[in-house]
Amino acid sequence: MSVTILAIESSCDETSAAVCADGKILSNFIASQSVHEQYGGVVPELASRAHMQNIVPVVDKALKEANRTLSDLDAIAFTQAPGLIGSLLVGAQFAKSLALALDKPLIAVHHMQAHVLANLIDQPKPSFPFLCLTVSGGHTQIVLCESPQQMRIIGETIDDAAGEAFDKSAKLLGLPYPGGPLIDKYAKTGNPQRFKFPEPQIPGLDFSFSGLKTAILYFLQENTKQDPQFVDNNLADICASIQHRIISILMNKLKKASKETGITDICIAGGVSANSGLREALKQTGEQLKWNTFIPAFQYCTDNAGMIAITAYYKFLAGEHTALTVSPSAKAEW
Q: What is the DSSP letter of 188?
A: T
Choose among ligand KG4, Zn ion, none what residue 55 binds, the Cβ cut-off being 5 to 8 Å by kind: none
Please state the closest distance from residue 324 (CB atom) to ligand KG4, in A: 26
Note whether 184 binds ligand KG4 by CB under 6 A: yes
- Give CA–CA dist 145/112, Å, rounded: 12
Note whether 207 binds ligand KG4 by CB under 6 A: no
Contact pick of 303, 307, 308, 315 for Zn ion (by CB under 5 A)? 303
Q: What is the DSSP letter of 286?
A: H
Contact 63, 29 (CB under 8 A): no
Applying the rule CB under 6 A, the residues between 77 and 96 that interact with ligand KG4 are none
- Give CA–CA dist 197/284, Å, rounded: 22
Choose among Zn ion, ligand KG4, none what residue 167 binds, the Cβ cut-off being 5 to 8 Å by kind: ligand KG4
Residue placing its CB nearer to Zn ion in the complex, 42 or 46: 42
- Give CA–CA dist 175/178, Å, rounded: 8
The Cα-based distances of 188 to 67, 101, 213, 219, 282 in angstroms read 40, 50, 21, 21, 17
Note whether 136 binds Zn ion by CB under 5 A: yes
Residue placing its CB nearer to Zn ion in the complex, 16 or 136: 136
Please state the closest distance from residue 165 (CB atom) to ligand KG4, in A: 9
Closest CA to 26 of 1, 63, 57, 56: 63
Note whether 166 binds ligand KG4 by CB under 6 A: yes
Largest interatomic CA distance in the chain: 69
Please state the closest distance from residue 52 (CB atom) to ligand KG4, in A: 20
Please state the closest distance from residue 110 (CB atom) to Zn ion, in A: 11
Burial class of 61 by CB neighbour count within 10 A (0 to 12, 13 to 18, 19+):
middle
Applying the rule CB under 6 A, the residues between 252 and 291 that interact with ligand KG4 are 270-272, 274-275
Q: Omega of the bond prior to 82 within 30 degrees of 0, cis?
A: yes
Contact pick of 82, 91, 126, 163 for ligand KG4 (by CB under 6 A)? 163
Please state the closest distance from residue 115 (CB atom) to Zn ion, in A: 6
Contact 8, 61 (CB under 8 A): no
Contact positions toward Zn ion, by CB under 5 A? 136, 303
Contact positions toward ligand KG4, by CB under 6 A? 12, 136-138, 163, 166-167, 178, 180-181, 184, 270-272, 274-275, 302-303
